[in-house]
Amino acid sequence: MANKPTLAVLGGTGALGSGLALRWIQAGYKVIVGSREREKATAACAEMRSLLSERGADAALLSDLDNVEAAAAADIVVLTVPFSHQQSTLAAVKEQLSGKILVDVTVPLMPPKVGTVQLPTAGSAGQAAQAFLGDDVRVVSAFQNVAADHLQSDHALDCDVLVCGNDAEARAAVVQLVEACGMRGFQAGPINNAAAAEALTSVLITINRQFKCHAGIRISGL
């Protein structure tokens, strides 16, 4: 796309989605925060606008809608809801996703043992999304290993992002979104490889408990 795509973040009222939205607005993207309830998105955006103004960013790039309207209005849709609600949220917007890229950020954490890798029967959340949506939607899995705390801050991000999906053009588009957030994105293979990034999140949670931190990953040896 020659111009910057308009982004919708479904569940963008939450920790991870609002962090991504802030970063993308600061990089000059139009971002629509989606919610099951429009009022909740409006309230979240009001808070985000004051943060954006403090940071000297253009808060007018931010808008709010319900999830269905947000998915319809965007070029690229980003899903940031808990895994247990991934499928119900996708079902609500399946029609609106037709022909688009869906960036799946969900991690299949199974409380209470979130420090233990427990991938779903589909193989990964990314594969589950692709199977559910069909080939008309290009699912790209990304951002599983970045902590919301870091995204919401205004500091430089010290981590890399693995980007998995079956379509090379879609992966490249998402790598651009990773770079817009100030991180390095690596095309990491087909959607089946999302299992690796999703599993790593439980490993990072285990490390976070030991070091009282929000750990990320770095690719070395390039």
Ligand X SMILES: NC(=O)c1ccc[n+]([C@@H]2O[C@H](COP(=O)([O-])OP(=O)(O)OC[C@H]3O[C@@H](n4cnc5c(N)ncnc54)[C@H](OP(=O)(O)O)[C@@H]3O)[C@@H](O)[C@H]2O)c1
Q: Which residues contact 133 (CB under 8 A, 6 or more apart)?
A: 90, 94, 97, 102, 139
Q: Is 83 in the site for ligand X (CB under 6 A)?
A: yes
* Order of strands across the sheet that contains 160-165: 62-66, 31-35, 7-10, 76-79, 101-104, 138-141, 160-165, 184-187
Site string for ligand X, 113-152 (x = CB under 6 A): -------------------------------x-xxx----
Q: Does 78 bind ligand X (CB under 6 A)?
A: no
Q: Pick one of 45, 52, 107, 191: the residue that binds ligand X (CB under 6 A).
A: 107
In single-letter form, the type of residue at position 7 comes to L
x/- map, 1-20, ligand X, by CB under 6 A: ----------x-xxxxx---
Confirm or reject binding of residue 109 to ligand X (CB under 6 A): yes
How crowded is residue 206: how many other Cβ atoms within 10 Å of its Cβ?
A: 14
Candidates 71, 78, 81, 200; binder of ligand X (CB under 6 A) is 81
With a CB cutoff of 8 Å and minimum separation 6, the contacts of 111 are none
217 binds ligand X (CB under 6 A): no
* Candidate list 89, 124, 130, 141; residue touching ligand X; CB under 6 A: 89
CA angle 198, 104, 167 (to 5 degrees): 100
**Residues in the site for ligand X, rule: CB under 6 A?**
11, 13-17, 35-36, 40, 80-83, 85, 88-89, 105-107, 109, 144, 146-148
